[in-house]
Amino acid sequence: MDLKLKDFEDQYIDQLIEVIFDAYKDYPEYGEPDAKSAKRYIKWLKKHSTLFKILFVNNEIAGFIVVDANWKDNFDGKIVGEIHEIAIKKKFWNRGLGKYLLNMALEHIKEKGREVARLWVGKKNKRAIEFYEKQGFKKLYERWNWVRMEKRL
């Protein structure tokens, strides 16, 4: 498996929209309703990121990760490393790519001097919740249809 990482560029937006739709196929309520909303979301992610990497497997976009290491959490006012998005196309699941991207995110957050990483995950997405728990994340609280998780670094 030939892995490459590239920084976000506008030329990849349409392909990232495809990744979002594919990654959230089982839980569309956590994804974006249409391409226009997905494009707006990707632009929001770019604006609120200190790390935005696109993962290529054998020259095909497999997924992406977005992190803001300077995120002010509304919950408690702390500045944390916020993992805004890890999205991987389903055909690339179960290959360790999520763990690879997550570890990159955690390293980035540590390098920026943060002691805490946080993220939101869909409450019904048991597979993702179990993945994050295996990586050392703990549930902080639930709000609406989402679970807030944290890992101390």
pLDDT tens-digit readout, 107-123: 999 999 999 999 999 99
Assess if residue 149 is contained within a domain.
no
What is the rounded CA–CA span in Å between residue 80 and residue 58?
A: 34
- The amino acid occupying position 126 is K
Quote the percentage of the chain above a pLDDT of 90: 98
Q: What is the pLDDT of residues 52-84, one digit of tens each?
A: 999 999 999 999 999 999 999 998 999 999 999
In sequence order, the 6+-apart residues with CB closer than 8 A to the CB of 97 are 55, 57, 62, 63, 88
Q: Is residue 128 part of a domain?
A: no
* Digit-coded pLDDT (tens) for 126-141: 999 999 999 999 999 9
Residue 27 lies in a domain: yes
Query: What are residue 114's DSSP bridge partners?
Result: none
- In this predicted structure, the answer to whether residue 39 has a pLDDT above a threshold of 90 is yes
Residue 38: inside a domain, yes or no?
Answer: yes
In a domain, 125, yes or no: no
Query: Which domain, by its residues, includes 109?
Result: 3-115
Burial of 33 (0-12, 13-18, 19+ CB in 10 A): exposed
The pLDDT, as a whole number, for residue 76 is 93
Q: Which of 42, 51, 66, 64 is nearest to 112 (CA)?
A: 51
Domain count, the chain: 1
- Within-domain flag for 41: yes
Q: Identify whether 86 is part of a domain.
A: yes
Structure confidence at residue 1 (pLDDT): 83
Residue 59 lies in a domain: yes
Cα–Cα distance between 139 and 63 in angstroms, integer?
25
Cα–Cα dist 76/129, whole Å:
22
Q: CB burial class (10 A; 0-12, 13-18, 19+) of residue 135? A: middle
Do the beta carbons of residue 59 and residue 14 sit within 8 Å?
Answer: no
Domain CATH number, residue 77: 3.40.630.30
